[in-house]
Amino acid sequence: MRRGCFVKNLIAFVGVVISICCLLVIMVSVLQLPEVTLRNKSTGPNRTIRTRKVSKDEAIGRFGEMMIEMLPEDLAFTVFVPSEKAFQRDLKLQLNDSLVAEKMNDTYAVVSRILGFSAVPQTLSSTTVSSSKEVFYDSLSGFALYISKDLDGMLVVNRIRSEMVDLKRGRLLYISWMG
């Protein structure tokens, strides 16, 4: 009878020791995780990325402002914001008509859908894209974005040329494009 009690206590003791060892290994590995760097082959380890800080009244338009306001400012995103002309021409969104109370929900739905197709969950400036080749990124909704650099340094996203690049607001980088 005594032997059965000793075996049960031994099994419990070994289980506790293994659990404590596993917890120690997990805590040590979490504390020693290296910082994530966004190093790219084209930027090199010490290359500086220049960005422009932009005020709220920069010429990206009201619909572009709506897109940027939908994203959290503490996370790194790159948003390819269509120009105001593109919103009017392709999506039929007019400033004086689409922002009225009756159509605001529809406008918000369209703009959030465009955001899903044009936002990349990392910072991507024009200096990180090599002019010699095209890079591929997935947007938030899984849509493929093929990004290359034009001869004058402007980004071309899915064959649509950008108007302004490297505009920054907080950790959010946005690029206005003609699309």
The pTM of the whole model exceeds 0.85: no
Domain of 111 in residue numbering reads as 54-177
Percent of the chain with pLDDT over 90: 5
Q: What is the pLDDT of residues 92-111, one digit of tens each?
A: 887 777 777 777 788 888 88
What average pLDDT is seen over the chain?
Answer: 75
Q: Is 63 part of a structural domain of the chain? A: yes
Q: Is 98 part of a structural domain of the chain? A: yes
Q: Is 16 part of a structural domain of the chain? A: no
When pLDDT is cut at 50, 70 and 90, the band that residue 117 belongs to is confident
When pLDDT is cut at 50, 70 and 90, the band that residue 56 belongs to is very low
- The whole-number pLDDT of residue 18 equals 96
**Is the model's pLDDT at 2 over the cut of 60?**
no
Q: Is 29 part of a structural domain of the chain? A: no
Q: Which residue has the tokens 């907080």?
A: 170
Q: What is the pLDDT of residues 146-160, one digit of tens each?
A: 888 888 878 888 888
Helix, strand, or coil (residue 19)? helix
Q: Which tokens hold the place of 5?
A: 């009690």
Q: Is 12 part of a structural domain of the chain? A: no
CATH label of the domain that carries residue 151: 2.30.180.10
Q: Is 124 part of a structural domain of the chain? A: yes
- The amino acid sitting at 67 is M
Element (H, E) at 2: helix 2-31
- The whole-number pLDDT of residue 40 equals 46
Q: Is 153 part of a structural domain of the chain? A: yes
**In terms of Cα–Cα distance, which of 121, 119, 36, 124 is closest to 80?**
119
Based on the structure, what is the number of domains in the chain?
A: 1
Task: Give me the DSSP letters along 85-148.
Answer: HHHHHHH---HHHHTSTTTHHHHHHHHHHHHHHHEESS---TTTS-TTS-EEEE-TTS-EEEEE
Residue 38 and residue 122 in contact, taking contact as beta carbons nearer than 8 Å:
yes
Q: Is 13 part of a structural domain of the chain? A: no
